[in-house]
A and B are shown apart, each in its own frame.
Chain A
Amino acid sequence: DGGITQSPKYLFRKEGQNVTLSCEQNLNHDAMYWYRQDPGQGLRLIYYSQIVNDFQKGDIAEGYSVSREKKESFPLTVTSAQKNPTAFYLCASSAGVSSYEQYFGPGTRLTVT
C-alpha cells in the first residue's frame, strides 16, 4: 500500500535530550513537510523539502533540524534548544511544486518531561 508512515506513534523523552521523529513515504513524492500541532491551534509548518539534499525553514523552525538524504525519508530532530517540544507532529508529502495536494502520515505525539 502506498502511503506515509511515522514512527513511533507516542514518544517520551526527558528534557535536554535530542529526539528524532521518523517519516517515510513510498509515494515517490518529491516534496515533504513537517508540521506541529498544539491544542486549539492549526498546523504550523516547521520545515519542508522540495527535493533530495535540499530543505527550507518553515514558520517555526527554531529548535528543530531535518535532513533529506533519500527521497523516501525526511527525519525531524527535536533538539534540546526547542523550548516547548511537547506537541503532536505530522509529516506530509506532495508530488512536487506542480502538485499542491498534500498527503499526511498518522502523526507522532511527543511528550517531554
Chain B
Amino acid sequence: ILNVEQSPQSLHVQEGDSTNFTCSFPSSNFYALHWYRWETAKSPEALFVMTLNGDEKKKGRISATLNTKEGYSYLYIKGSQPEDSATYLCASTLIDNAGNMLTFGGGTRLMVKP
C-alpha cells in the first residue's frame, strides 16, 4: 500500500494569517498528486491535480507546489479567512494503478478564527 502522509494533522490560525501544510508520498512510479478541500457536511471538492515536477498551481489565495523527485507537495493559503476552514486532503496516484486509484493522506484540518 502506498503511504501518503500529511502534516500537521490540525492547525488553528487567526484570520489574515498565511499558512501552509505538507503532503509527502513515495516518489517511485508517481503519476499524479491531488489536493481536495472538504468542508463539514459537504462533498470533497477538487482543488488541484499536478503531475509534473516543479508544477505550481494557483486558485485565488490558495496555491500548491509539487516536488516529485523528493516526494512532497505544499499547499499554501495566503491571508486565511474563516471560510477556508475545512479539511485539506491530498492523494497520490501511481503510474501503474488500475482504475486510477487514489491513495489518500489523513488530511490536515484547518480552523481559521475570526
Which residues of B (39-93) have their CB < 8 Å from a CB of A? 41-46, 49, 89, 91, 93
- Closest CB pairs A-B (n = 8): A42-B104, A43-B104, A104-B43, A100-B100, A42-B106, A104-B44, A48-B99, A106-B43
Would you list 14 pairs from A and B whose C-beta atoms are within 8 A, ordered by A residue?
Answer: A31-B99, A42-B104, A44-B104, A45-B101, A56-B98, A90-B43, A100-B34, A100-B93, A100-B102, A101-B49, A102-B34, A102-B46, A104-B43, A106-B43
What's the Cα separation between A35 and B98 when bound, in Å?
16
> Are A100 and B31 interface neighbours, CB within 8 A?
yes
Total count of chain B residues near the partner, CB < 8 A:
28
Total count of chain A residues near the partner, CB < 8 A:
27
Chain A 41-55 interface mask (CB, 8 Å, partner B; 1/0)? 111110010100000
